[in-house]
Structure 1
Amino acid sequence: MFRSLLALLVLATAGLGLARPSFAVETRIKDIANIQGVRDNMLVGYGLVVGLDGSGDSLRNSPFTKQSLEAMLERLGVNTRDSDMKTKNVAAVMVTAELPPFGRSGSRVDVAVSTLGDAKSLLGGTLLVTPLLGADGEVYAVAQGQVSVSGFKAQGAATSVTKGVPTSGRIPNGAVVEREVTYAFGTEPTLRVALRNPDFTTARRIAQEIANKLKVNGRALDPSTVEIQVPPQYRADIVSFVTQIEQLRVTPDQRARIVIDEASGTIVIGADVRVSTVAIAQGNLTVRITETPQVSQPAPFSGGQTQVVPRTDVQVDEGGNRHVVVMNSGVSLQDLVNGLNGLGLGPRDLISILEAIKAAGALQADIEVM
């Protein structure tokens, strides 16, 4: 049995003003924002993978695979409606892809393939011609090719070994674009920049940088959108104008935040996180109970009976080597990490301490639990 005790004493919660960290770096606008309207389009399709070495769907448990196989063979002039097919070399799959912006007819894109039925592996399989549909139901690409699988599964009579996910794979350049997504780029008098992480301060800095460096009118409409007036000299060469905007550098701002993944024990602390003056004491009470039963065997012909004698060992660790750590007001990320590491804590204990500091009002940051 394991029990953890966490003692937290807050000395004061008066914090210092937060200034922009001196280690903030400038980033290209291209890396933190997109040009509005220039976007990918999701495609999806249903198909069959053939050529599997007995690792495909069992047709009895996957009726959709059997129906698809019969329909495909009928289109090729083979009638199998009244036959009892028992092949396990075919698997029904879902095929997904992303059509890049301005993808032209004849260009190729990568596709991902994933099984639908009870297939064990797609290793060695080949995807047959599969139309890929957009959100409007139209066919925009056609996929076919050898499936590349990174995982594998080996099974014997008593045990099996699996690495990765053998029921999904990819086909590099496996789809040919058949239909283009029409978009009249550069015909509007304004251009909009969309931030990937919306923030008022970052949007305003982008608008100011564009106005100062390119001498054009730009303003932040909201935390995620910056509107820019396209100068007359760039109306016929909008690509050059966009290139200049993408290469400008700004310092993105972000709110202080701590992200916690309790499932894996991962903690990510932002650079702007600050802690008011606080003292932390952490102690662990660990009780270990070990059962080692022994068998008491009587002497031959003594008339006694064999008995199981319990033997129990109990160990108690009160964590007496733990210390109290005092963090001064306005400590930085490095100070916070050093102080918590000084307690000799694991990720689970750090999560409990951070949540306790936040509950006490001494943590100037948001905690997001994934």
Structure 2
Amino acid sequence: MWIGMIGAMMIDRLSAAAKFLRRRRTALNKAFGAMAIALAVPALLTGPASASRLKDITKIEGVRENQLIGYGLVVGLPGTGDRAQNALFTEQSLRSMLERFGVALDNERILQTRNTAAVMVTASLPGFSRNGDKIDVTVSALGDARSLQGGTLLVTPLTAADGNVYAVAQGQLIIGGFQAAGAAGSIQRGVPTQGRIPAGATVERELAFPINELDTVRYVLKNPDFTTANRIASAIDQRLSGRFARAVDLATVEVLVPADYRGQVTTMLAELESIDVETDEIARVVVDESSGTIVIGQNVRISPVAIAHGNITIRISERPIPSQPSPFSRVGETVVVPRTDIAVEEDLGNGFRVIEDNITLQELVDGLNAMGVTPRDMISILQTIKSSGAMQAELVVQ
């Protein structure tokens, strides 16, 4: 009786183990069968496309920054400024500045400019900036100054492309880099010939843009796409309860200002900018060969294709052996004879793998992770599959 019970228990355990092994083998076959192109990065967002706010995916046409530029002088440098014999424009600028302050100079004498540096000053003027607003400026050395550390920018007018002055910059520079030198060497970190002045320029002229007087408003897509533009127009019409928006092209959506918002365009824009729009994108695979980074969009699809990828390893070893003359021989000498062993090993991995039709990105990722494919191998696989025509996506190699 006991023997029969023990035998039944052993049969049950063997049956359970067999079922577990069958389930494990089925799971592994699915993982290996789904091997294809996949992401070689640790984490990916592979879920469905999420909706984005209209303000995050578009910008208003005409509302933009304007670039400003100016020429100025930085003074107060500890002997790290321009040298007069190499930067003549620095000496000329210094003479002109001193003459404006009524300082008479001897034209025959060369000014020492080691404490002064000629610089170019750049800034971005935001849209709707008002008189008195402060903006950041960037200061870059123009001559052969070694460092701008400790310098002060003198009053510098900043002009736009139309030649008008829109801001005036002045202030103490903040340098991110440094340079130190000794008798036998030097060290440098960052760029000591470039600095910034936070809130270093004051806006003196406004850029007129009467947005509330507009009859139509144009939204410009940051990532142009026909489907996204059409969805934006539909979402705006739904919010405004009418037919006011139309997709002009893949990058522009034009909105006719309703009668209720005439003269109050900013109010309409404030109500529309929080609209959620589901964006679309081109199926694209981006490969950075220098870092081994691969990014695959969720719309990438692979046609049925078979893949085999292997590695060849060549091992070369040197085993020199001595060669001696025969015993009691009066001729000959002991020499070393080189001997080289070359072995070639080819690892074909798991052989051919068949890629099923319309595999999803999640299946590709799971299959590749199960196979343990490295990023470098993935780059080769991606380029080869694209060349075969089995990848329905744009491949961008950086």
Partner of 1:206: 232
Q: Is residue 167 of structure 1 aligned with residue 193 of structure 2?
A: yes
Shift of 1:109: 0.8
Partner of 2:64: 39
Q: Is residue 230 of structure 1 aligned with residue 272 of structure 2?
A: no
Decide whether the 8 Å contact of 2:167 with 2:201 is kept in 1: yes
Shift of 1:257: 1.3
Residues 41-69 of structure 1 show CA distances to partners (whole Å, capped at 9, x for unaligned) of 11111112222223322332223323222
Query: 1:178 & 1:142 partners in 2: Cα distance?
Result: 7
What amino acid maps onto 1:70 in structure 2?
R
Residues 209-236 of structure 1 show CA distances to partners (whole Å, capped at 9, x for unaligned) of 0111221321111111111121212113
What amino acid maps onto 2:392 in structure 1?
Q
Shift of 1:125: 1.7
**Using a 3 Å threshold, how does the CA distance of structure 1 residues 155 and 316 change in structure 2: closer, same or farther?**
farther
Decide whether the 8 Å contact of 1:70 with 1:81 is kept in 2: no
Residues 91-100 or 131-140, more deviating:
91-100
Decide whether the 8 Å contact of 1:234 with 1:241 is kept in 2: yes
Q: Which structure: greater helix fraction?
A: 2
Aligned to 1:254, the other structure's residue is in SS state coil
Residue 278 of structure 1: which of 305, 315, 318 is its match?
A: 305
Residues 229-238 or 309-318, more deviating:
309-318
Q: Is residue 133 of structure 1 aligned with residue 159 of structure 2?
A: yes
Q: Which structure: greater strand fraction?
A: 1
Query: 1:117 & 1:234 partners in 2: Cα distance?
Result: 54
How does the TM-score come out when normalised to structure 2?
Answer: 0.75
Partner of 1:54: 79
Decide whether the 8 Å contact of 2:308 with 2:348 is kept in 1: no
Shift of 1:339: 4.7
What amino acid maps onto 1:193 in structure 2?
Y
Deviating above 6 A after TM superposition, structure 1's stretches of 4 or more consecutive aligned residues are 288-291, 309-317
> Which residues of 2 match residues 233-248 of structure 1 at below 5 A?
233-248=260-275
What amino acid maps onto 2:231 in structure 1?
R
**Using a 3 Å threshold, how does the CA distance of structure 1 residues 52 and 340 change in structure 2: closer, same or farther?**
farther
Shift of 1:273: 1.9
Residues 213-263 of structure 1 show CA distances to partners (whole Å, capped at 9, x for unaligned) of 221321111111111121212113221110011111101111011233445
Decide whether the 8 Å contact of 1:112 with 1:171 is kept in 2: yes
Partner of 1:30: 55
Partner of 2:89: 64
Shift of 1:206: 0.4
Q: Is residue 364 of structure 1 aligned with residue 389 of structure 2?
A: no
Aligned to 1:120, the other structure's residue is in SS state coil
Decide whether the 8 Å contact of 2:312 with 2:347 is kept in 1: no
Aligned to 2:107, the other structure's residue is in SS state coil
Partner of 2:247: 220
Decide whether the 8 Å contact of 1:115 with 1:167 is kept in 2: yes
Query: 1:345 & 1:280 partners in 2: Cα distance?
Result: 13
**Using a 3 Å threshold, how does the CA distance of structure 1 residues 283 and 210 change in structure 2: closer, same or farther?**
same
Partner of 2:280: 253
Partner of 1:177: 203
Residues 293-317 of structure 1 show CA distances to partners (whole Å, capped at 9, x for unaligned) of xxxxxxxxxxxxxxxx999988767
Q: Is residue 101 of structure 1 aligned with residue 131 of structure 2?
A: no
> Which residues of 2 match residues 326-345 of structure 1 at below 5 A?
326-340=354-368
Specify the structure having the higher radius of gyration (Cα): 2
Decide whether the 8 Å contact of 2:141 with 2:193 is kept in 1: yes
* Percent sequence identity over aligned pairs: 53
Query: 2:339 & 2:153 partners in 1: Cα distance?
Result: 61
Query: 1:319 & 1:58 partners in 2: Cα distance?
Result: 63
Query: 1:218 & 1:58 partners in 2: Cα distance?
Result: 61
Query: 2:338 & 2:108 partners in 1: Cα distance?
Result: 69
Aligned to 1:207, the other structure's residue is in SS state helix
**Using a 3 Å threshold, how does the CA distance of structure 1 residues 274 and 182 change in structure 2: closer, same or farther?**
same
**Using a 3 Å threshold, how does the CA distance of structure 1 residues 82 and 248 change in structure 2: closer, same or farther?**
same
Partner of 1:77: 102
Partner of 1:16: none
Partner of 1:294: none
- Structure 2 alignment gaps of length 5 or more: 1-35, 37-45, 319-335
> Which residues of 2 match residues 318-329 of structure 1 at below 5 A?
318=345, 320=347, 322-324=349-351, 326-329=354-357
Decide whether the 8 Å contact of 2:214 with 2:265 is kept in 1: no
What amino acid maps onto 1:278 in structure 2?
V
Residues 148-157 or 97-106, more deviating:
148-157
Residues 318-367 of structure 1 show CA distances to partners (whole Å, capped at 9, x for unaligned) of 46374445543323334444555566555444333322221111111112
How does the TM-score come out when normalised to structure 1?
Answer: 0.80
Query: 2:130 & 2:303 partners in 1: Cα distance?
Result: 56
Decide whether the 8 Å contact of 1:283 with 1:318 is kept in 2: no
Residues 131-175 of structure 1 show CA distances to partners (whole Å, capped at 9, x for unaligned) of 111111111111111111222223334443332222222111111
Aligned length: 336
What amino acid maps onto 2:154 in structure 1?
L
Decide whether the 8 Å contact of 2:211 with 2:266 is kept in 1: no
Query: 1:128 & 1:221 partners in 2: Cα distance?
Result: 48
- Structure 1 alignment gaps of length 5 or more: 1-10, 12-20, 292-308
Query: 1:162 & 1:55 partners in 2: Cα distance?
Result: 14
